[in-house]
Chain A
Amino acid sequence: MTAKSIIAIGFSMLGLTAQAQSLNTYGNTGLIDMPTAHGMPDGHVAFTYGTVGNAGRATVNFQISPRVEGSLRYSTIDGFGAGNTDRSDQQFDLKINLLDETTAPFALSLGFRDFLGSAVYSSEYLVATKEISPGLRITGGLGWGRLAGERAFGNPFGGTRSNPAGGAQQVNSANFFQGPDTGFFGGVEWQPQGSDWRLKAEYSPDTYMDEVASGQFNRSNGWNFGIERRLGHGLDGGIYWMGGQEVGFRLSFSADPRTPRVPPDLINGPPPFTARPATAKGGTNWVSNQALQDQLMTALAPAFEAEGLSLRAAKLEATSVEFHLANLHHDRAPKAVGRAARLLTTGMPPSVETFHITLIENELPTATVTVNRSDMERLVDTHEAVPESWQRFAIANAVPLEAPTWQAPGAGLSYTIGPKVPFSLFGGTFDFDVVLDAEATYRVSPEFSFHAEASQSLLGRLQDVTPATGPLPRVRSSFAAFQSDTPVLDRLTADYVSKLGENLYGRASVGYLERMFGGISGELLWKDVNAPLAYGLEINYAHQRDPGSLLGFNGYDTVTGHGSIYWDTGWNGIYAQLDAGRYLAGDWGATVTVSRRFENGWEVAGYVTDTNADTSASTSGSFDKGVRLTIPLGWTVPFPTRRKLTVPFSDLARDDGARLDVSNRLYPLVRDVDRNRLGDNWASFWQ
């Protein structure tokens, strides 16, 4: 069997998720403009760009849980209202599935479109969908707000809707199910079995009243028709005839985080396992033979390296050994521990009964897994191996190794060059750049290092944006001034990180902390590997850098910092984080972040920040919000790697709620190696 053939297998198995449900121009699961009652499979992520006449909509859609679908959208309308003004808005949508078609005669969902935003698309709906034959679905629903533009009957809930003036963003709960009318919508979609083509027709009560009033949009009736095609590799697109007058388009890319694009374990099996022969003598003289120990470690270090593990330190005793290892490329931490244990079954003399294996992250000892060698010999390859080893192998907080028998040299230079893709959402508009980023670290000792980072913008698309203005110091709204056609020194710091106690981590950084600020940053993190809660404290003195000079500063400085609580809920991969304190512009407030992390490293996070800053002049709303998406590279390439691509969808030029962009915050460094995360992927210990 050739490697060529193996790779061919890998690529032929590029698993594409069967996409039974389709998306609409709003990026929600739906017909053309209208929603359906179905959702995507749990965890599904979809990016959609849709246009209808003079409106453009870029949406990130996430199936938060099997019954809840959430969407974040950035929209533009070129001509709105009688004044024919252009609009840029952000919106959040939520759809809750009440009945599932697998257990009920039809699916039923309650939805809120633009429930958090400027209310330009504000509407609520109750929608039912039924698959009446394979591939043929009918949908009908009642709508309020924009979905009651054409009246079906009077609204039994009555009330009036009042959208915020000036496009300011808010929670639109006061408008829920209000207004004089209730509308009816419905439609049908048909996708013949085995076909990539899909036909749709719908009736929409949305009259596009303000778009029509601008003179930039035409509509004769409420009927929309479309043809869509699944294009492969997660792409899906459609073209539509809207309201008898306008053309619409949609292009979506969707992915299931749990279905990797390449098989995750291809040509990546474990090294051979070696059991001690029953007749092994188990002598311990080797412990007092330093030459023999040196020989052993000289052989083991490259063996670990070949297995994707970097040996940092070891302590050898007659019946137990402790190894501190950095996981270089295994995306699942238990896999790294298991690989190390297998090598030790081969490399350690028979007298050694216990392996203490400690994983090091950024030179910080995180967790120690204690492996009983006899248990491993008994369990290997058996069906009981996974659950029983989880019960029998202990997980404890790691501490630095005292008096190691062997230690890797502390000093060394490392570097990374790679692309980054910053997205920016200025006041609702949406843009991005591609940046070539180079980082270098010179480590003086395991704790102390120097770090430099420089980048070159390749597209320069973030230099022309007009930032929002307000009364706060321009800590981020001067963003454009810090963009350049030439290479920029993003960071130049001296860093000290250390495990100060069994559960306590510490960090101190000084220098140019980020592109826009220099100063001093200190952080403490309390995190027990067996506890779901962690607590952090960060204090910084920050001085704004001078965009006109390489190393200079301008006149603004401040003290900023936060207390943080991190909670791994243990439910469905949901994590929550609360940061409260003083932000860069001197405003006080808090940020709540909720994220869902998948076992393979995918993460979808949403955050909201509210501070005491006066944001009345801001069109971006009274509080900051955004979404962050993290995709592990191992999900898309046929070899193990821990690299991840993080794409933040956030307003990079907003002054209120702004935090320092410190590169080595402690919690993200250590959170992947605790009991919960090890348990998520414990089976990989044996892979």
Chain B
Amino acid sequence: MKYTAFLLVILLGACTSGSKDQPSVAKAVWERVKALGDDTPEAEGGGKATPTRQQITEFNVAMIQMNLQGEDIYPIMLPTHVNGAYVVYGNKFRQSLTLRESQITGTRGLGTDLVSATSSDDDPLKVLTPPERWPDGVAREYRFGGGGPSGRVERYDCTFARGGDAQIILAGTTFDVVGFAETCTGADGQIQNLYAADATTGRVWQSQQYVGAAMPAINLDILEPLTQ
């Protein structure tokens, strides 16, 4: 009797009726197991699969592709909400990135949320700035959960270092870009962001951005920017 019941405990974890205030742990696990078969084409077998430029044009919608540094998963995200300069891109897994132009100002559902972020008014990530006019540096601020009514805030002073010129190909389109490395220091340590900025407009087509110490950096491709 005892050992049968003990096995039940192991198997069930904890089981709850649907009508009580606590959801069933077993049910939640089962929902996840059921979802395992719900594959999407872009993720079959991992690896980066990107729509063609023709497909993007046909879709006629803004589109980004992201990747958590070190993971072999490259979800495509589409705009779900716009509030002024802030655009939320999401997927069907309730995961989203909030962008201000090319700056990631928020993440949801990817692991540990970056609640919000901001930077100096002249930040070339959020105000299109040709590479030759990029400032020497900017200030950045990141807000995370916990830490009281204002959240836990990390502040950094950042400097840009211009790299070489290069070409990148996104969804079959070639862009002439200038590389920038950004080094930021603050009380919470040092972080680094990398940008590939359009050689003419300064739009950051490709970047690797910090979204919190509990998360890997996010690699971001702007496949089609939102134009309002």
Which residues of A pack against B, CB within 8 Å?
1-7, 9-10, 12-13, 15, 258-259, 263-275, 308, 310, 326-329, 332, 362, 377-378, 380-383, 385-387, 390, 412-419, 434, 436, 441, 456-460, 485-486, 599-600, 633, 637-639, 641-643, 679-684, 686-687
Contact = CB atoms under 8 A, between A and B. Distances in A.
A1 B144 CA distance: 25
A contact patch SS: loop
Nearest to A377: B83
Contacts of A4: 36, 39
A266 B111 contact: yes
6 contacts: A3-B38, A7-B36, A13-B111, A456-B2, A641-B22, A679-B149
Interface string B1-24: 111011011001111110111110
B53 interface: no
Contacts of A416: 14-17, 20, 22
Nearest to A687: B113
Nearest to B2: A458
A313 B33 CA distance: 33
Nearest to A335: B145
B19 A267 contact: no
Contact of A414 (B19, B68, B86, B146): B19
B113 A265 contact: yes
A589 to B, nearest CB: 35
A7 B95 CA distance: 13
Contacts, number: 224
Contacts of B84: 382
A6 B25 contact: no
Contact of B13 (A259, A271, A275, A418): A418
Contacts of B9: 418-419, 434, 436, 458
Nearest to A329: B23
B117 interface: yes
Interface string B48-74: 000000000000000000001001011
Contact of B36 (A3, A272, A418): A3
Contact of A266 (B19, B81, B110): B110
Contact of B143 (A265, A412, A683): A683
B23 A641 contact: yes
A272 B148 contact: no
Closest 7 CB pairs of A and B: A269-B109, A418-B14, A414-B20, A263-B111, A269-B108, A683-B151, A269-B94
B28 interface: yes
Contacts of B19: 412-414
Contacts of A600: 146
Interface in B57-108: 68, 71, 73-75, 80-81, 83-84, 86, 88, 90-91, 93-96, 98, 105-106, 108
Given A9-B73, A639-B28, A682 B148 contact: yes
B35 interface: yes
B142 to A, nearest CB: 9
B2 A381 contact: no
Nearest to B113: A265
Contacts of A274: 81
B68 A9 contact: yes
A267 B35 CA distance: 12
A686 B81 contact: no
Given A269-B94, A270-B108, 8 more contacts: A2-B38, A9-B68, A9-B111, A266-B109, A269-B90, A378-B83, A381-B88, A383-B118
A308 B88 CA distance: 23
A264 B32 CA distance: 16
A268 B16 contact: no
B154 interface: no
A13 B73 CA distance: 14
A639 B86 contact: no
A417 B106 CA distance: 39
Contacts of A681: 145-146
A263 B214 contact: yes
A393 to B, nearest CB: 11
Given A329-B23, A643-B22, A680 B146 contact: yes
Contact of B94 (A9, A10, A268, A417): A268
Contact of B93 (A3, A15, A382, A387): A3
Given A4-B36, A681-B146, A642 B17 contact: no
B174 interface: no
Interface string B95-135: 11010000001101111110111100000000000000000
A683 B109 contact: no
Contacts of A641: 22-23, 25, 28
Contact of A310 (B21, B39, B42): B21
Contacts of A327: 21
Contacts of A383: 105, 116-118, 141, 143
A183 to B, nearest CB: 41
Nearest to B70: A12
A563 to B, nearest CB: 29
Interface centre among A4, A310, A680 (most CB of B within 10 A): A4
B43 interface: yes
A259 B110 CA distance: 16
Contacts of B73: 1, 5-6, 9
Contacts of B25: 633, 637, 641, 643
B150 interface: yes
Given A6-B93, A599-B146, A683-B145, A381 B106 contact: yes
A1 B110 CA distance: 12
Nearest to B151: A683
Nearest to B15: A417
A434 B6 CA distance: 8
B228 interface: no
B20 A415 contact: yes
B209 to A, nearest CB: 15
Interface centre among B12, B20, B46, B94 (most CB of A within 10 A): B20
Contacts of B227: none
Contact of A272 (B81, B106, B116): B81
Contacts of B35: 3
